[in-house]
Amino acid sequence: MKLSNIQYLYKSIQIKAIEAVLDPDDTYSYRRICRWYSKTFHTPLQDVYKLDFEHVLSNYYESTFEEIPYNDLYDIAIEDFIPELAEQNNEDAEQYAKDLEAEQIRTLERKARREGKTAQPVVSKPALTKNQRASQALVKATEELKNLNKKQSLEHTANTNQSTQTEDISMAFDDEIPEDL
């Protein structure tokens, strides 16, 4: 069976479209973003192709980034788009940690001088990573939860023991009631 010219055209365009989707190039990305703009802003596609592409692209990225939570977007910006800001951010964090440690040492030394003691040398610990801090917080929360469960269990046991014990109730009055009443 021989394909007609129109069927051959359909097949070849379908193959090109599949190739573009599987291995996108700049031309495909341009067409995809223009199609998005056309759908989003109800603008005929041929009119979108006439627009300044910087305008179309700005709207595309703004719309995409608006869907991302602020903290995640900030992390993406720091890690992927602004590496020098990430480096500065790390340096600022390290400097803040050093300044905080120095202030703590000065405070301990002043306190020791007031009390007439010699200040113990402070051994600085390396700063923890975000994952290490999260892990420590998780361990601490787990321990607190275990302690809370244990405390509640002990209270429940104590309450159960108290309610099972009978108390002697006396009907005798210690105080005499005045007869005037």
| Whole-number CA gyration radius for the chain | 37
Is the pTM of the predicted complex or chain greater than 0.75? no
Contact between 37 and 50 under an 8 Å Cβ cutoff? The reply is no
- For residue 29, the model assigns a pLDDT of 94
- For residue 123, the model assigns a pLDDT of 52
Mean pLDDT by 10 residues, the chain (181 residues): 82 94 94 96 96 95 92 81 67 77 85 74 56 61 64 67 53 56 55
Burial 61-100 (b: 16+ CB within 10 A, else e): eeeeeeeeeeeeeeeeebeeeeeeeeeeeeeeeeeeeeee
- Residue 72 sits at φ, ψ, to 5 deg, of -65, -40
How far is the CA of 168 from the CAs of 18, 165, 172, in angstroms? 89, 10, 12
- For residue 104, the model assigns a pLDDT of 85
